Structure formats: structure tokens, C-alpha cells
Structure 1
Amino acid sequence: MEPLIALVVGFLAARLAGLAGVEALDGWHPALRVGVAAMFLLTAFAHFFPPLRATLIEMVPPGLPRPALLVTVTGVLEAAGAAGVLIPATAPWAAGALLLMLVAMFPAKVSAARRRLRHADRLGPRAALQAVFIAAAALVIA
């Protein structure tokens, strides 16, 4: 739920700044880029904050090697993507990469739900939330 809050609050704050006269944020598209960046910066942070990191490592499907390394790499990629969506010239490419990551990492959410891990989201609500995140990234590409 926190990533959704970061997406919405980041979008609304940027949109308000645009309406208040910040030219770079004047429009829904630049504001959405800020919201997507805020969401991915928050999720990237979770990859390195010890209690949350342990949960993410636990969620990596058992068949994948080196779960801690995978969590680190995805955290770095999320942070890089968040920075990339803030730069107009790289925003479509960064958003596309983040969209692909969302799709590629969804099986880990499914695996965690099936294994009934204590921090795993129920699959239905998680799938709906993932669809919102994918849609936001797709709109940044547009």
C-alpha cells in the first residue's frame, strides 16, 4: 500500500507545484513522472533497509540463486529507473525498463502468496495493485 501512497502523493504534490507556477511540472505527464519516481525510490529503499530487505529476500522464489544479490540488483535498478523517469529525455526508456521489471518480478509476488509468507500480499489485491503500477509506467512512456 505504501508504494501506491507514494505514487499518488508524489503525483498530487508535483501537480500542485505545476499549478502553482513550477513550469517543469505544469501538466499531468511531468507530475506522473514525479509520482512514479517517488514510488520507485520508496521501493528501492526497501531493498536496503534491514527489516524490509529480509522480507524481500524471503520472497525470492526458492529456485532462483543468490536471493540477497537479486534483491540488491533490483533495488539499484529501481533507484536508477526512478532517476531516469525524472529526466524528460530518458523518461520513456526508464519507464519501459521499470514496466518490464514490474512484469518480471510479479512471479515472486505469486510465489510468496502461494508459500503463504507472513508479509506476502493476497494475490488478488496484489495483482490489481501491480496493474496500477504497470499502467502508471506505461503512461510515462506515452
Structure 2
Amino acid sequence: MHRFNLIGSALMLVLCCAVFPRKKAEREVALAGQLVPVQVLRTNCNTSAHFRSFHFTFRGREHALKVGRADCNDLRKGSNMLLQHLDAYPDVFLLPGYYSKGENWAWVGLFVIGSYGVISSWRHLRKEKT
């Protein structure tokens, strides 16, 4: 049982460590990013919520951004809109007002729970060996 908990907790830590750099970049863009104009190329609004997105160009490069149903329905091909962006993170764009501190706290909570699970399971496995 403790071995299963150790593996699950370790996987949770790996997932959190993979997500943290992107979340850090999003936080910095939300707090210090400037509004930049982008041109909408195409939208993908007829799919489920997980895949709803739009493609746009910024400085000659194409990017994609996931959006909610209301935002997606407002987008039209060829229209211009403003997104938050920082030059330090060339692939991170946010809709104005998108940033949620609660989401970051949730990831921190998962990291803490995963860390506790790894430490606790490792200690129990060590005790079982002796």
C-alpha cells in the first residue's frame, strides 16, 4: 500500500513541477504584461470546453490560446483584439482579467500534498524493511 502511495505522490510532484514554470510565466504576464494587439486568424468554437481555442498572429508568428465559450463566440476571423503579453515569455498570452490566484494556490496545495505523501510513504517503507 505504501509503495502505491509513494508512486502516486511522486507522479503528483512530477506533474506539479511540469506545470509550475508555465504558471509562473502566466503570473508575471498577468501582473506586468502590456496589452498588445493581435489579429484573429481562425476560431475553433464548436468543440468541447477543453478544446475551444482561437489562433492569432503576433509579430508574424502564429499562436493559439484556449478561451471560454463567451469569449470564443465574440471572436471573428480577421478582427483585432488586445491580449496581455511580456517579451520575456514569447509564447505566453492571456486574455485581460484571466489570471486567477486561486488556481496557483491549488497547484501549490497539490505540491504540498504530494511532498507529504512521498515523505510519509518513504518513511513507512523504511520502517517495514527493518
Same fold (TM over 0.5): no
TM-score under structure 2 normalisation?
0.32
Structure with more contact order per residue of length (Cα contacts < 8 Å, sep ≥ 6): 2
- Rg bigger for which structure? 2
